[in-house]
Structures are given as C-alpha cells and as structure tokens.
Amino acid sequence: MSAPLVADALVEQAMKNTGLDRFDSNSWREGLDVLLADYNKSEHPEPLLARMSGNLVQMLSDRLSTTDYLAKRPELLERPIERPLFVFGMPRTGTTLLSNLLACDPARRSALTWEIEEPVPPPTTATLKTDPRAIAKLAQEKAMLEARPEMGKYYRNSAVYPNECMFFMMHDFKGLAYESRGKLPAYRDWLLSTDMTSTYQYHKRFLQLLQADAPGNWNLKMPSHALWLETLLKTYPDAKLVWAHRDPFTATSSFCSILSMAHRGYTGQIDYEWLGEDCPYQAQLHLDRIMDTREKLGHDRIVDIHYADITRDPMAAIRKLYADLGDTLSAEAEAAMLAWLADNPQGKFGKHEYALEQYGLSVEKLAPRFERYLSQYDVAREG
C-alpha cells in the first residue's frame, strides 16, 4: 500500500527547499487537508505519488516565495489592479484562443506561463519574453513538442503565452485543477461550496507582485471564474467580464477528454464512469452560475463572445468584442493578432479527437442539463 501524503511533511519540504518559513496567511491549509484526505483514499503508483507530492510542494514553495517578496516590497500591495478583463465560460469553449489573441494587444498585460511558474523575482516590461527563465522554458517546450508533437493539439500554450489564473490560485489550494487528478468527490464538493474570498485576495496579491516592474491593464483567463463571479467582483469591482460560448455537447466531450489525460498522468488510469458523471455536472454548474449571476447583475454586466464566431472570422469577432467592451482596438494590436493567427492555424499540431460515447454519454442524455442554457442563448451546434 502506498504511503499517504502528509500535509506537515509537504510544508516542511517546501520550507527546506526555499529557506523560508512564513506564509502570508493559513487560508491554504483547509484546502490542502481536504484534498489529501480524499487523495489518500486511493492507491497510487510510486512515481505518480511522487509527481503529486512534488507539485504540492511547489505550490507551497511559490506561496512562501510570494509572501517573502511582497514583505520586502510592501508598497506593491498599495498599487491598484484597475479594470482587469476576465475571460471565462464552461470548460473547453475557446477561452485559450481568445486569451492568446487579447495578449497580442500591447495595451494589455497578461500573466505568462513562465512567470506564473517562477514568479520571484518578477520580470520587467523589457524582459517579459526575454528573461532567462522564459528562454529556458521555451527550450524545454521545443524539445517536448519535437518528441511528442501531438501534445500541441490538446492545449495551445507556450512559456510566453498567457496561462490560466488557476495556476496561481492553486497556491491557496482551492482549484479544479486539483480535482482533475483522480476521483476526488469530497474535494470537489467542498471546493464548489466553499468561500473563495481568500483565493481571490491572494489572486490580487500575486498580480501585484507580477506587475511590480511590468505594469499594465490585466488580461486574465480561467473557465472556472464562472463559478465564483460574485466573489471575484468583491475583489475587482470594476472588472470587465467576458463569457465564451460554445456548443455545450462538444465542449463537454472535449472536457472529458482533457480530464482523462489528467487522470492518466496522476493515477495511471482513467475512470471513464466517473468522468461521465463529473464533467457534465461541472459543465452545467458553470453555465447555471453564470446565468444566475447575470440575472442578479443585469445582462449588460457580462459581454458575450461565441466560439463559432471567433473560429470562423477571428478579427471580426475581436472587433465586435472590443466595441462591446468600449475598448479601442489599435492597428498595432490587430496586426499582432493577425500574425499570431498566421503562426497558429487551427490543427497546427493535429486534431483533438474525442467522443461522448467513450464516457457513457450522448446528446440525448445530456440535453436536460443544458436545456436552460440553450433556451436562452443561440449557440451554434458543432455535431
């Protein structure tokens, strides 16, 4: 039987690795405890247990490093985050494509993959894409894609592309990325009902660190912001909100496929039955919570964009989005977006294949879950 992961041992290792021993708060502890209690119920092959352990230690180490840096430069916590833009929706609705295009706009500041992974010390504006840490990760990325080019078809990412807020919100141990690492129903249910205030407060602190010497108007993306919009707005009351829409049946199928890879990577096997239950539940919850929030805040508080539009005519969709946001799309930004699209054509690394039937699902079986959504929104069907 594999040895259980122990929270105190993980914390001790993070402190040893960093030489630091002070967290800004203990808000992360409950999530870590709930996660480990659920995770330790199952057997895990030793290499995958070590992978999970290493990842958790890294999250703790990043929190320690973030706390230490901000303690040395406390004035950073006085700097505002003004009118940040958040892209969200149910998973697999084109939020990555949209975020990558928005990041081409020099008027926007995105949290890039490499700086999320190595936030201390934060970059300067001049070194956002030339920092040695970025260059090293680009080299690793190139080697990975040369060895396994098929990986590029699942998730369009790069060291110098924007990445999800999830990967630093995880420092508070509240995030669906943890839930994807196996069958973890207790952690999922706790997460979907817990107060996320501390996580969004930490989110702001992390951005204040990143913008220390590289400021700008933030462009941010994470599908599951959809679940906590009211909490998000308590931290960022002037946030701009963008909802990405897509055929929910296709998106759910893709969601199942992506999570199946996470299962394989952290447990060594895929629980198709669980994914067929879990992914539709989460997909519906994302949609329902957005619609509930919109009913409270007013329709115009959230701007819509459709996957079908952005894949058919990306720049027309972007121009409309900017108009709806009241923003100006500069000629420089448009040229940069067109260049990115030319360098990243759909299917560049192959087509991501997936099917509902693999998970015991069908359009007919899922239809009741998406009846409310499809009755309110004219979403192009893909199947």
- Model confidence pLDDT, tens digit, residues 277-300: 999 999 999 999 999 999 999 999
Mean pLDDT (the chain, rounded):
94
**In the chain, how many H helices and how many E strands?**
18, 5
- Model confidence pLDDT, tens digit, residues 176-210: 999 999 999 999 999 999 999 999 999 999 999 99
Question: In the prediction, which pLDDT does 154 show?
Answer: 52
Question: In the prediction, which pLDDT does 345 show?
Answer: 86
| Better pLDDT: 305 or 265 | 305
Question: In the prediction, which pLDDT does 364 show?
Answer: 97
78 pLDDT above the threshold of 90 = yes
Cα atoms found within 13 Å of the Cα of residue 373, Cβ hemisphere only = 24
Question: In the prediction, which pLDDT does 152 show?
Answer: 58
How far apart are alpha carbons 282 and 295 in whole angstroms?
Answer: 20
351 pLDDT above the threshold of 80 = no
Residue with tokens 């946001």: 325
Question: In the prediction, which pLDDT does 144 show?
Answer: 79
How far apart are alpha carbons 63 and 124 in whole angstroms?
Answer: 21
- One-character DSSP codes across 292-342: HHHHHH-GGGEEEEEHHHHHHSHHHHHHHHHHHHT----HHHHHHHHHHHH
pLDDT band at 354 (very low <50, low <70, confident <90, very high): confident
What are the angstrom distances between the C-alpha of 82 and each of 7, 230, 235? 36, 17, 11
- One-character DSSP codes across 104-162: T-TTEEE-BHHHHHS-SSPPBGGGTTTSHHHHHHHHHHHHHHHH-GGGGGT----TTSB
How far apart are alpha carbons 220 and 163 in whole angstroms?
Answer: 8
Annotation: CATH topology of 7-376: Rossmann fold (3.40.50)
Question: In the prediction, which pLDDT does 353 show?
Answer: 66
The domain spans of the chain are: 7-376
- Model confidence pLDDT, tens digit, residues 120-133: 999 999 999 999 99
pTM for the full predicted model:
0.95
Question: In the prediction, which pLDDT does 222 show?
Answer: 98
Q: Answer for the pair 303, 240: CB distance below 8 angstroms, yes or no.
A: yes
pLDDT band at 274 (very low <50, low <70, confident <90, very high): very high
- Model confidence pLDDT, tens digit, residues 136-185: 999 988 887 777 766 655 556 789 999 999 999 999 999 999 999 999 99
Question: In the prediction, which pLDDT does 151 show?
Answer: 60
Phi, psi of 195, rounded to the nearest 5 degrees: -80, 125
How far apart are alpha carbons 312 and 94 in whole angstroms?
Answer: 12
Task: State the maximum Cα–Cα separation within the chain, in Å, rounded to a whole number.
Answer: 61
Interval 3-17 mean pLDDT: 97
Which has the closest alpha carbon to 119: 88, 81, 163, 89?
Answer: 163
How far apart are alpha carbons 258 and 150 in whole angstroms?
Answer: 13
pLDDT band at 3 (very low <50, low <70, confident <90, very high): confident
Q: Answer for the pair 99, 313: CB distance below 8 angstroms, yes or no.
A: no
